[in-house]
Chains A and B, each alone.
Chain A
Amino acid sequence: MQRTIGKKKNGFAHEMKRNYPYYLMMLPAAAVLFLFSYLPMPGIIIAFQDFNFVDKFRSPFVGLNNFKFFFTSPYAFRTTFNTIFINLNYLVWTTFFAVLIAILLNELRLKFASKIYQNLMFLPYFISAVVVGKLVNQIVFPDQNGIANQILGFFGHDPISWSENPAPWAWIIIGAHLWQVVGYSTIVYLASITGIDDHLFEAAALDGANRWQQIRLVMLPMLMPAIIIMTLLSIGGMLRGDFATIYSIIGDNGLLFQNTDVIDTYVFRAIKQAADFGTTAAVGLYQSIVGFLLVYGSNWLVRKYDKDSALF
């Protein structure tokens, strides 16, 4: 009795004494996380300052002017629209093709062919964004000699000067992303399909369901939790463009910005060209808050309808 009271009195000190090796083990990772994720957080105040490198974080405050400046500029709508447009297409088409291909791979009778296809489809996932950019710019869509113009030529179409033609580039970016990640997502869904209990299919077959009905009524509903988790994980980044891929494909080619400039590429240029730090910080805060609300909101919705599929 005496001892338990003592424990309660200095619970923290006692716990530290008892389990200090474990807390020491957490320390390095926590310290790195603190430096690179928590230390920048107070930097959010820059969004409300007229930042300069002399006063640094003691720069004069300007209230909401930075937000006003960004949201009244033509860039606010354009970059937000492009970011959401590109990300939504990433999400919808990746899910669609990955689920479709996972089902097809599972239905395939020749198992060795299924293995070979998986290996080939997975390969692009291992390639860096720079290489993807290079393949897109130099092999598929250069102004002369590329695959795209060769195909157009095959159908009797004149070659297109891709680098001066902004219209198709949002779709080129989306296509490049799909090319890179569909194989990976396919394996995630294939793993979920393999995890489905065979008895469910057998029971459905006994009830007279044909293969197509089994897929539609048994397999797809069983895949829903995996689809929801993958979607939730990507929704938080809805306002965060796929910077590495987009920047390595478009770079600084201003002719193509109209359809491809996303918030992250805009912020990167603003920082590197030392334009307006207050505004970029405001944009960063806007991204984070909307991202946070999206994660929370969508998770709340999922929780309401299907508690087990929610992320937290």
Chain B
Amino acid sequence: MRRLSFSGYIAQLLMQLFLLFFAIACIYPFILAFMASISSEKSILDNGYQLIPSEFSMLAYQAVFKSKYLYTSFGVSILVTVVGTLLSLIICGMAGYAMSIKRVKYRNAVSMFFYIPMVFGAGLLPWYLVITQILHLQNTIWALILPGLVSPFNVFLMRNYFATVPSELIESAEMDGAGVMRTFFGIIIPLSKPIIATITLFIGLAYWNDWASALWFIDNPNLYPLQYMLYRIQAIINLVRQTGAMGDMKVPPETFQIATMFITIGPIILLYPFIQRYFVKGIMIGAVKG
């Protein structure tokens, strides 16, 4: 490696400073929010958010874990994430695989069928009406799962990956008597771990973080996913702030809201160190064309 000149050192130093500043800006709100969630309500009201709060308290978490809605919402979120991700992976994977087989004659026509919705949509209202008036999915768990099940982009990503599997391998498996399904689940899937892991994480994250579906389709508190419950708490507070009308409504204390927020991102933060490198790998697969 070349030796750095004096100006080279200065440049390295400036770059470090700039990147450090940006990296801190990315995580500072989380740290501050976490400290707020374990501090007492009084210390926030008196001094605002502090990196090191003047008074610690776990009351907020105790209150959150007492509310039964938390457990219901957690259950809904986990169910939707697990079922949605598995289903999506299986049906998108199968479609991608079938489209990657060169001897399938109409695969380009099918690709076109998957491609058109990526550029042209009917708009929100017809979509909303189909789901509520024709399929009658409102206030069911399926309204949270089905609309996000097929992402053409993921299908194409998998198709491109499966296309790199040598066709001799597939032919010899079929020669040995394996059916198409057996070949797919027994040979192709184990060979495609990087793309499967990546897509699983992308879909899983999308389901876990989804709240707009609940905003559109769910009125039943027993079906609120975690993110939507968090949104409801925020919405009530905004309403109170604007109208100034407190009435009989009790505003949840600041620390309670922030503790709830931490519970919704908790699983992500805990898993982040393990899944982060898969994401990076996946983005590379998707980004570097060909």
Name A's B-contacting residues (CB within 8 A).
11, 15, 19, 21-23, 25-26, 28-30, 32-33, 35-44, 46, 53, 56, 101, 104-105, 107-110, 113-114, 116-124, 126-131, 133-135, 137-140, 143-147, 149-150, 163, 179, 182-184, 187-188, 191-192, 194-195, 225-226, 229, 236, 243-244, 247-248, 251-255, 264, 267-268, 271, 277, 280-281, 283-285, 287-288, 291-292, 295-296, 312
Closest chain B residue, CB of each to CB of A212: B11
Q: Is the CB of A251 within 8 A of B235?
A: yes
Q: Is the CB of A128 within 8 A of B126?
A: no
A184 to B26, CA, bound (A): 12
If A43-B122, A229-B289 are given as contacts, then 11 extra A-B residue pairs at C-beta distance below 8 Å, sorted by A number, are A21-B181, A22-B98, A104-B19, A107-B12, A109-B1, A110-B16, A117-B20, A133-B234, A139-B49, A188-B283, A271-B128
A225: chain B residues within 8 A (beta carbon): 289
Q: Is the CB of A39 within 8 A of B134?
A: yes
Q: How far is the CB of B233 from chain A (nearest CB, A)?
A: 9
Interface centre among A107, A130, A149, A229 (most CB of B within 10 A): A130
Interface centre among B4, B124, B128, B184 (most CB of A within 10 A): B124
- Would you list 16 pairs from A and B whose C-beta atoms are within 8 A, ordered by A residue? A26-B110, A32-B150, A101-B19, A108-B16, A108-B19, A122-B280, A124-B26, A126-B272, A129-B211, A145-B49, A182-B22, A247-B212, A248-B211, A271-B124, A283-B123, A296-B119
B97 at the interface (CB under 8 A from A): yes
B227: chain A residues within 8 A (beta carbon): 128, 130-131
Closest chain A residue, CB of each to CB of B229: A130
Q: How far is the CB of B191 from chain A (nearest CB, A)?
A: 17
Query: Which of A53, A144, A226 is within 8 Å of B287, CB to CB?
Result: A226
Q: Is the CB of A117 within 8 A of B23?
A: yes
B66 at the interface (CB under 8 A from A): no
Q: How far is the CB of A30 from chain B (nearest CB, A)?
A: 6
Query: Which of B45, B98, B135, B288 is within 8 Å of A195, CB to CB?
Result: B288
Q: Is the CB of B12 within 8 A of A108?
A: yes
Q: Is the CB of A134 within 8 A of B123?
A: no
Q: Is the CB of B125 within 8 A of A281?
A: yes
Given A32-B91, A126-B272, A248-B234; A25-B97 close (CB under 8 Å): yes
B104: chain A residues within 8 A (beta carbon): 19, 22-23
Q: Is the CB of B127 within 8 A of A36?
A: yes
How many B residues are at the interface, by size bracket? 35 or more
A110 to B268, CA, bound (A): 28
A44 to B127, CA, bound (A): 10
Q: What string of 1s and 0s marks CB contacts (under 8 Å) between B164-183 and chain A?
A: 00000000000000011100
A138 to B37, CA, bound (A): 12
Within 3-41 of B, Cβ neighbours of A (below 8 Å) are at 4, 11-12, 15-16, 18-20, 22-27, 29-30, 32-33, 36
Q: Is the CB of A145 within 8 A of B44?
A: yes
A158 to B46, CA, bound (A): 17
Q: What string of 1s and 0s marks CB contacts (under 8 Å) between B94-106 and chain A?
A: 1101110101111
Q: How far is the CB of B265 from chain A (nearest CB, A)?
A: 6
Q: Is the CB of A33 within 8 A of B257?
A: no
B140 at the interface (CB under 8 A from A): no
- In order of increasing CB-CB distance, the 5 nearest A-B pairs are A284-B123, A43-B126, A128-B209, A145-B48, A29-B95
A interface secondary structure, majority:
helix
Closest chain B residue, CB of each to CB of A295: B119
Query: Which of A22, A133, A163, A254 is within 8 Å of B180, CB to CB?
Result: A22
Q: Is the CB of B264 within 8 A of A26?
A: no
Closest chain B residue, CB of each to CB of A126: B268
Q: Is the CB of A40 within 8 A of B19?
A: no
Q: Is the CB of B284 within 8 A of A191?
A: yes
Q: How far is the CB of B184 from chain A (nearest CB, A)?
A: 7
Q: Is the CB of A187 within 8 A of B283?
A: yes
A35 to B44, CA, bound (A): 49
Given A109-B4, A124-B26; A131-B265 close (CB under 8 Å): yes
Q: Is the CB of A129 within 8 A of B180?
A: no
A144: chain B residues within 8 A (beta carbon): 48
Q: Is the CB of B265 within 8 A of A15?
A: no
Q: Is the CB of A131 within 8 A of B205?
A: no
A117 to B124, CA, bound (A): 39
A292: chain B residues within 8 A (beta carbon): 119-120
B82 at the interface (CB under 8 A from A): no
B242 at the interface (CB under 8 A from A): yes
Q: How far is the CB of A269 from chain B (nearest CB, A)?
A: 11
Interface centre among B23, B123, B272, B283 (most CB of A within 10 A): B123
B186: chain A residues within 8 A (beta carbon): none
Q: What string of 1s and 0s marks CB contacts (under 8 Å) between B227-262 and chain A?
A: 110110011001101100000000000100110010
Within 37-89 of B, Cβ neighbours of A (below 8 Å) are at 44-45, 48-49
A299 to B130, CA, bound (A): 31
B210: chain A residues within 8 A (beta carbon): 128
Closest chain B residue, CB of each to CB of A128: B209
Query: Which of A22, A110, A137, A284 is within 8 Å of B101, CB to CB?
Result: A22
